[in-house]
Amino acid sequence: MEQRRLGETNFWINPVGLGCMGFSHAYGKAVEKNEAIKTIRAAYEEVGYNFFDTAECYTGENIDGTISYNEELVGEALKPVRDKVIIATKFGVKHNPDKSLKLDSNPDTIRKSIDGSLKRLGIENIDLYYQHRIDPKVEPEEVAEVMKDLIKEGKIKSWGISEANEEYLRRAHKVCPVTAIENRYSMAARWHANIFPVCEELKITFVAFSPMANGLLTGAVNKDTKFTAEGDYRKDMPQFTESGMAKAQELLDLLNKLASEKNATPAQISLAWMICEKDFIIPIPGSRKLHRLKENFGAGNIKLSAQELADINAKLDTMELEVFGGHSAK
């Protein structure tokens, strides 16, 4: 499996990373601590993942009512292999009770956040530190200055921006070079493709979160699937409504056809599509199940030709989809 360089750093990572959020956040009750740690560690030892993504705000409730901190799970799981993996985490977001986001990228807040994340992860420095969302109250130059200081202090090795737009990215990059952006991207959510030319120009990695549209493109969800667990955000997502599933059927049929032709699964095709599309894209699908982690990782070995990609994209251009996070694919 051919590795990809993370921005202009010396980090080389496999083409599929692991989004660890689901172990403790947004998908119902948190996974039991020891089970989560065992699965995350197995993702490295048994599968080959070497890029792990978490965030300060990824918290959830354990079965016993205590709080599960995702960073603590990731840090404990990867402690024995710390020098062999790349760990990314994020600052600047808190979740309000109504699931809305509270944004805070004030320099003083960032200082508190980095120290908290280092402690929870149990590490001396963070490989990739993202601004989780743009804070309209703080200029990009001000955030970038703090990142520059944190790099000089040895607390972080590189930094990135999640849900970045071109203007913000360029302004921040001038002050302190940005290594990666982390934006929503999938066959069903392609609106951030307009920033690809900037990534190519500035040699910035595009880390794709929700690369399978929160599970829509895995083939494991259908119109009869119900998300009833408390804290499972998917029950409020438009792609899982009756209307959303109906509109997605053409895309699901396309994935099934391609999967059959490539002796793969729909999930693998949806990931291989973006991996083959650009050599600077790294998807970070997440799952709580080791067999799914193995399946997702295998997408890095699937090849799609330029003609196959062109044919897929031509079909996607004709589809109108209902998806969480923004515009339809059409």
Phi, psi angles (nearest 5°) of residue 52: -125, 130
Tokens 């360029």 appear where?
170
Measured CA angle at 165 (ends 201, 9), to 5 deg: 45
d(CA 235, CA 242): 12
Query: Could you tell me the two tokens for 166?
Result: 């071109």
Residues 6+ apart with CB under 8 A from 201: none
d(CA 254, CA 256): 5
Q: What angle, 0 to 180 degrees and rounded to 10, lies between the N-to-C axes of helices 290-297 and 33-42?
A: 30
d(CA 67, CA 231): 13
Among the options 58, 130, 168, 185, which is catalytic?
A: 58
Active site residue 58: yes
d(CA 264, CA 282): 19
Q: Which residues does the annotation mark as catalytic?
A: 58
